[in-house]
Amino acid sequence: MLKDSPIISASPEIMGGAIVFAGTRVPVQTLLDYLKAGESIDDFLDGFPTVTKEQVIALLEEVGFSLGKPNQSWGHEYITLV
């Protein structure tokens, strides 16, 4: 999907290979944890100023786009998220 893109990257030398926002040491999982806890994107950005709002928006747009596409291994079936 996005691995090693301008938005995110992963390297064994950075945070043990966790997927992070490109150019930072901030794991994408941290954003997901903030959102799961009911925090806003602005709250996340306040806590992690090395991540830009543009990176967060681009990540969420790409994930949303990817969820809307059928995966080749799924055939023509779609997954419904409840």
pLDDT in tens, 22-42: 999 999 999 999 999 999 999
Whole-prediction pTM: 0.75
Q: Please report the DSSP string for 15-80 in residue order.
A: GGG--EETTSS-BHHHHHHHHHTT--HHHHHHH-TTS-HHHHHHHHHHHHHHHTSPPGGGTT--PP
Percent of the chain with pLDDT over 90: 66
- Is the pLDDT at 73 greater than 70? The verdict is no
pLDDT exceeds cutoff 70 at 77: no
Asked if CATH classification 1.10.10.10 holds for the domain at 8-71, the reply, yes or no, is yes
Distance of alpha carbon 75 from alpha carbon 3, whole angstroms: 23
**Per-chain mean pLDDT for the chain:** 84
Structural domain boundaries in the chain: 8-71
